[in-house]
């Protein structure tokens, strides 16, 4: 008789249960997932106790999730999966600005601000002028590029993590370029911070002897008609965590200069140009 489960034919037995007329991509994805999961369990000879620990871990990850907390994304991030999915879906020509993880702290609908405005509303931190140009591969300025920026505050928290402490939209804003493609805004020199680590992902990191920190960075989403959306950060190069980002988000092309200028109340200047890629290129 066929169709009964055996250790040797586990993959074939499970995958044979799929219907004939299901979505072909779903069939491909699930067949591969089953193949890899079974192979993993056989490879390490997973014990029943370990399986129970894994189920307990996933249960806790689900239970801690809410509108503000997404433990499964943190799990994906800390296992390098988010960066891998991002890398294979955003291959770009050399010289184009690279993508990196979005992270859980982007909020849609930040205030549109005028070029040069400040995004820091809590008065904390060392002020920094961020400026540069949105250009294409030929160095031509991009008119109408929308630059959505956000960072943590000087204490290492995003406004949404401290709704009763920080002003709403603190260290966030949206800027739109003109004919010259130039952008500028005043924020703070960002500081490194731990990702939320009071849940199962935090426990996983500590069991693995890993720290939960991200090196200091400014987040950007850049959109322009006809060009690929860029989801990226710029990083502070001398940050102690620059080579050990817990979510693997650093790329050397995204390390930006932070120059001390001490110009009135502005202490730092961080120049950086963003190079956009046409929609149909490099995909």
Question: Which residues would be at the binding site for ligand BEZ (CB under 6 A)?
Answer: 74, 77, 101, 103-105, 195, 214, 247
74 contact, one of ligand BEZ, Fe ion, none, CB 5-8 Å limit per kind: ligand BEZ
| CB closer to ligand BEZ out of 101 and 147 | 101
| CB closer to ligand BEZ out of 120 and 177 | 120
Give min distance, CB of 162 to ligand BEZ, in A.
Answer: 14
| CB closer to ligand BEZ out of 103 and 173 | 103
104 contact, one of ligand BEZ, Fe ion, none, CB 5-8 Å limit per kind: ligand BEZ
| CB closer to Fe ion out of 143 and 244 | 244
| CB closer to ligand BEZ out of 101 and 134 | 101
Tokens matching residue 19: 């219907």
d(CA 228, CA 89): 11
From 42-50, 98-106, 130-138, 243-251, give the range in contact with Fe ion by CB under 5 A: 98-106
From 56-64, 82-90, 95-103, 273-281, give the range in contact with Fe ion by CB under 5 A: 95-103
Task: State which of positions 230-269 bind Fe ion (CB under 5 A).
Answer: none
Number of residues in contact with Fe ion under rule CB under 5 A: 1
201 contact, one of Fe ion, ligand BEZ, none, CB 5-8 Å limit per kind: none
Give min distance, CB of 165 to ligand BEZ, in A.
Answer: 18
Give min distance, CB of 58 to ligand BEZ, in A.
Answer: 18
| CB closer to Fe ion out of 101 and 142 | 101
Tokens matching residue 36: 């890899």
Integer CA distances (angstroms), 174 to 24, 100, 106, 133, in order: 40, 19, 12, 15
Give min distance, CB of 195 to Fe ion, in A.
Answer: 8
| CB closer to ligand BEZ out of 77 and 92 | 77
H, E, C per residue of the chain: CCCCCCCCCHHHHHHCCCCCCCCHHHHHHHHHHHHHHHHHHHHHCCCHHHHHHHHHHHHHHHHHCCCCCCHHHHHHHHCCHHHHHHHHHCCCCCCCCCCCCCCCCCCCCCCECCCCCECCCCCCCCEEEEEEEEECCCCCECCCCEEEEECCCCCCCCHHHCCCCCCCCCCEEEEECCCCCEEEEEEECCCCEECCCCCHHHHHHHHCCCCCEECCEEEEEEECCCECCEEEEEEECCCCCCCCCCCCCCCHHHEECCEEEEECCEEEEEECCEECCECCCCC
191 contact, one of Fe ion, ligand BEZ, none, CB 5-8 Å limit per kind: none
Give min distance, CB of 230 to ligand BEZ, in A.
Answer: 15
d(CA 52, CA 191): 38
Residues that bind Fe ion (CB under 5 A): 103
């Amino acid at each position: 008789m066929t169709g009964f489960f055996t250790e040797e034919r586990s993959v074939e037995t499970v995958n044979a249960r799929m219907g004939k007329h299901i979505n072909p991509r779903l069939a491909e994805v699930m067949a591969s997932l089953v193949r890899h999961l079974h192979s993993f369990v056989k490879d390490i000879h997973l014990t029943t106790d370990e399986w129970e620990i894994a189920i307990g871990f996933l249960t806790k990850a689900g239970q801690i999730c809410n509108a503000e907390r997404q433990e499964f994304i943190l799990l994906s991030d800390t296992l390098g999966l988010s960066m891998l999915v991002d890398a294979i879906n955003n291959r770009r020509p050399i010289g184009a600005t690279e993508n990196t993880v979005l992270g859980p702290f982007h909020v849609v609908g930040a205030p549109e601000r005028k070029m040069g405005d400040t995004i820091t509303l809590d008065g904390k931190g060392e002020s920094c002028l961020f400026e540069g140009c949105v250009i294409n591969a030929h160095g031509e300025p991009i008119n109408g590029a929308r630059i959505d920026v956000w960072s943590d505050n000087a204490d290492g928290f995003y406004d949404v993590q401290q709704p009763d402490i920080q002003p709403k939209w603190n260290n966030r804003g949206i800027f739109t370029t003109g004919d010259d493609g130039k952008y500028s805004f005043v924020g703070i020199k960002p500081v490194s911070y731990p990702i939320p680590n009071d849940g199962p992902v935090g426990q996983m990191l500590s069991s693995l002897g890993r720290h939960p920190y991200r090196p200091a960075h400014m987040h950007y989403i850049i959109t322009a008609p006809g060009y690929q959306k860029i989801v990226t950060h710029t990083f502070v190069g001398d940050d102690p965590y620059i080579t050990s980002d817990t979510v693997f988000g650093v790329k050397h092309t995204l390390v930006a200069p932070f120059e001390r200028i001490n110009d009135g109340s502005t202490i730092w200047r961080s120049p950086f140009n963003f190079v956009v890629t046409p929609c149909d290129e490099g995909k």
